[in-house]
Chains A and B, each alone.
Chain A
Amino acid sequence: MAFRERIEKNTGNIFRSSEEGKYFPVVSRYTAGVAGQKFLEEIKENEKIFGTRCSKCEITFVPAKLYCERCFARMEKEHWVDVGTRGTLYSYTVAYEEKDGSPKETPSIIGAIKLGDGLLFHWIKESSADDLEIGMEVDAVFKPKGERRGSLVDIDYFKPKK
């Protein structure tokens, strides 16, 4: 009991990271970049998933990148490839915890979906985890056009091919 009292007594003396409360008072802006902008716009406007292909390395990067990580080549317009909206399940997991570690009311299935030679990380729905298998085909389900904001989550989720 004494141990607990001691912890509680001292916990009150912890200084929070800002005077306003517990939040770090800095907000960042993120730039999707030249390749990221087009990649996200194609999802938002056209329900298409694009990669960029390095012909030298024979790798199709998904999400699309401006430069090849392997050979350092710049990938221009002619390198853009529509990889379709059907991928294969590279791996999957069931998340039982919320971001803060608290238990989820409904566990979510998260997949690594292979498109081109890259991966998208996204939810798998319309299936139980027991019915999933590495290597199976999954299709992207897009949000209705009016709800798309130019983000990864303009894709609502992936579901096993019917």
Chain B
Amino acid sequence: MGKRVAIVGIGYSTFRTTSQDVNYREMIFDAAFKCYEDAGVKHPREIDAFVATSEDFMEGVSIADEYVPDQLGAATRPVESITGDGIQGLAAALMQVQTGQLNLVAASSFSKASNVIDYYNVVSYACDPTYIRPLKEHPYFIAGLEMMKYLHGTGTTKEQCAKVAVKNKENALDNPNAAYGSLVSVEDVLNSPMRFDPLGLLDTCGDIDGAIVLLLASEEKARELNKEPIWINGIGWGTDTPNLDSRINFGAEAQYAKLAGQKAYKMAGIKSPKNEIDFAEVDDTFTYKELQHLEALDICAPGDAGKLLEQGAFSSKGTFPVNVSGGSLGMGYSHEANGTQKVMEIVLQLRGEAGKRQLDGVKTGLAFAWRGIPTATGAAVILSKDK
């Protein structure tokens, strides 16, 4: 176990389905400004280093890491870029603080999905050029194959998956940062236009624009600053092979989530996740993914997530609330900021700043994000506040 590191500041831009007025660097500037203010840091000069998560094709420029510094107040300062999920960026920032050389490190992530005109081409370009791309199909067929295999292998039903969308979209109604809150019925989800059978339109997320900046501090520094420290107890990430043909139990289970969870639990000293964690924000890029990820993260046994969901266990008033923020189905999918969006909810809940959706007495939360089709990468983080 390394040195203790805390999240001491959080800032975020407004989350919108489109943002024609601001560019992504202005959005990050907005989030960074609020983050530093939140922590009580007067100027970014007080921050030792900066980590940005970004992906060239989503920014529309190549060598996008060059476009990182200014919006964070980091020009001429130490900057590192991570092409990955925001939680992977958070891990990089955490390790920088754990070196003992740095006391304050900022981590940014964002989505400007509304500027990505041909997103399907970005995802398609991520697929294997020899064995997947020659089919010239929409790459979400991979999600259709996965969902079919998952339902078949676990006995989970389409109705149970539909209930994930019902729950998360309803949760989102209590979240002012959520763009896709609505009251939908199981029938609405099941009758929504079929995309990649059994995956229907309401099993999938809409996109969202927004930026999130987090500030991490060493224990000593955290005690000096404004906010109650939210400790990073464990963090882990995992990647199965990129080859769809040789992944372990392709579709039937989420190996990357198992790997990420196991590492994060080990670092946090957690033996029984469902008993030692109070609530979770778990990737729900597709409805079936929330259930599959909960099983892989050992919150319940394989095949049990759908049943527990139906019994209300994962509702905001249940024994283990999942995606009380609305998740990606309710908030919108924020691409590289997917994991950070989940971290943001955990931080707000632990601080008691979650407004109408505030959970009672929560002390430890789990955030987990998947890097999306066609990847097999996931990242998990355990956060807690002082007891």
Chains A and B come from one and the same complex: yes
Residue B138 interfacial (CB < 8 Å): yes
Are the CB atoms of A108 and B137 closer together than 8 Å? yes
Are the CB atoms of B197 and A93 closer together than 8 Å? yes
Report if A95-B245 is in contact (Cβ < 8 Å); known contacts: A90-B149, A110-B135. Answer: no
Q: A99-B138, A152-B130 are in contact. List 13 more A-B contacts (CB 8 A).
A: A7-B18, A14-B117, A36-B130, A63-B245, A69-B246, A91-B152, A93-B144, A93-B199, A94-B196, A95-B144, A112-B250, A121-B132, A152-B135
Are the CB atoms of B148 and A92 closer together than 8 Å? yes
Residue B4 interfacial (CB < 8 Å): no
Residues in B with CB closer than 8 Å to A69 are 241, 243, 246
Which B-chain residue is minimally distant from A33 (CB atoms)? B130
Which A-chain residue is minimally distant from B252 (CB atoms)? A91
**Within the assembled complex, what's the spacing in Å between the Cα atoms of A69 and B138?**
27
Are the CB atoms of A11 and B20 closer together than 8 Å? yes
Residue A122 interfacial (CB < 8 Å): yes
Interface residues of B in 340-370 (CB under 8 A from A): none
Residue A119 interfacial (CB < 8 Å): yes
**Within the assembled complex, what's the spacing in Å between the Cα atoms of A155 and B131?**
12
Residue B183 interfacial (CB < 8 Å): no
**Within the assembled complex, what's the spacing in Å between the Cα atoms of A17 and B140?**
24
Are the CB atoms of B60 and A95 closer together than 8 Å? no
Residue A62 interfacial (CB < 8 Å): yes
Which of B129, B145, B147, B251 meets A110, CB within 8 Å?
A: B145
Are the CB atoms of A110 and B246 closer together than 8 Å? no
Residues in B with CB closer than 8 Å to A153 are 134-135
Residues in A with CB closer than 8 Å to B120 are 99-101
Residue A141 interfacial (CB < 8 Å): no
**Within the assembled complex, what's the spacing in Å between the Cα atoms of A108 and B194?**
13
Are the CB atoms of A10 and B246 closer together than 8 Å? no
Distance in Å from the Cβ of B108 to the closest Cβ of chain A?
23
**Within the assembled complex, what's the spacing in Å between the Cα atoms of A26 and B147?**
34
Are the CB atoms of A62 and B134 closer together than 8 Å? no
Interface residues of B in 132-158 (CB under 8 A from A): 132, 134-141, 144-149, 152
Are the CB atoms of A97 and B148 closer together than 8 Å? no
Report if A118-B251 is in contact (Cβ < 8 Å); known contacts: A95-B144, A96-B197, A152-B134. Answer: no
**Within the assembled complex, what's the spacing in Å between the Cα atoms of A161 and B147?**
24
| 12 A-B residue pairs with CB within 8 Å | A6-B20, A61-B245, A93-B145, A93-B197, A96-B194, A96-B195, A100-B118, A112-B145, A112-B149, A112-B251, A134-B148, A134-B152
Which A-chain residue is minimally distant from B124 (CB atoms)? A99
Please report the total number of B residues contacting A with Cβ < 8 Å. Answer: 42
The interface size bin for chain A is 35 or more
Residues in A with CB closer than 8 Å to B135 are 110, 121-123, 152-153
Binary contact readout B111-135 vs A (1 if CB under 8 angstroms, 0 otherwise): 0000101101000100001111011
Residue A72 interfacial (CB < 8 Å): no
Residue B21 interfacial (CB < 8 Å): yes
Binary contact readout A73-113 vs B (1 if CB under 8 angstroms, 0 otherwise): 00000000000000000111111111111000000101110
Binary contact readout A23-46 vs B (1 if CB under 8 angstroms, 0 otherwise): 000001010100010001000000
Are the CB atoms of A96 and B196 closer together than 8 Å? yes
Interface residues of B in 1-37 (CB under 8 A from A): 18, 20-21
Residue B244 interfacial (CB < 8 Å): yes
Are the CB atoms of B137 and A91 closer together than 8 Å? no
**Within the assembled complex, what's the spacing in Å between the Cα atoms of A95 and B139?**
10
Residue B176 interfacial (CB < 8 Å): no
Residue A151 interfacial (CB < 8 Å): yes
Distance in Å from the Cβ of A6 to the closest Cβ of chain B?
7
Residues in B with CB closer than 8 Å to A10 are 20-21
Are the CB atoms of B197 and A129 closer together than 8 Å? yes
**Within the assembled complex, what's the spacing in Å between the Cα atoms of A76 and B148?**
36
Binary contact readout B228-267 vs A (1 if CB under 8 angstroms, 0 otherwise): 0000000000000101111000110000000000000000
Distance in Å from the Cβ of B264 to the closest Cβ of chain A?
24
Are the CB atoms of B117 and A22 closer together than 8 Å? yes
Report if A93-B148 is in contact (Cβ < 8 Å); known contacts: A100-B118, A121-B135, A151-B134. Answer: yes
Distance in Å from the Cβ of B83 to the closest Cβ of chain A?
18
Distance in Å from the Cβ of A143 to the closest Cβ of chain B?
12
Report if A95-B137 is in contact (Cβ < 8 Å); known contacts: A69-B246, A100-B118. Answer: yes
Distance in Å from the Cβ of B62 to the closest Cβ of chain A?
9
**Within the assembled complex, what's the spacing in Å between the Cα atoms of A152 and B198?**
25
Residues in A with CB closer than 8 Å to B21 are 10
Are the CB atoms of B250 and A93 closer together than 8 Å? no
Which B-chain residue is minimally distant from A151 (CB atoms)? B134
Are the CB atoms of A120 and B137 closer together than 8 Å? no
Which A-chain residue is minimally distant from B61 (CB atoms)? A17
6 shortest A-B CB distances, which residue pairs?
Answer: A93-B144, A94-B197, A91-B149, A10-B20, A119-B245, A30-B129
**Within the assembled complex, what's the spacing in Å between the Cα atoms of A11 and B21?**
10
Residues in B with CB closer than 8 Å to A123 are 135
Residue B318 interfacial (CB < 8 Å): no
Which of B60, B141, B243, B246 meets A93, CB within 8 Å?
A: B141
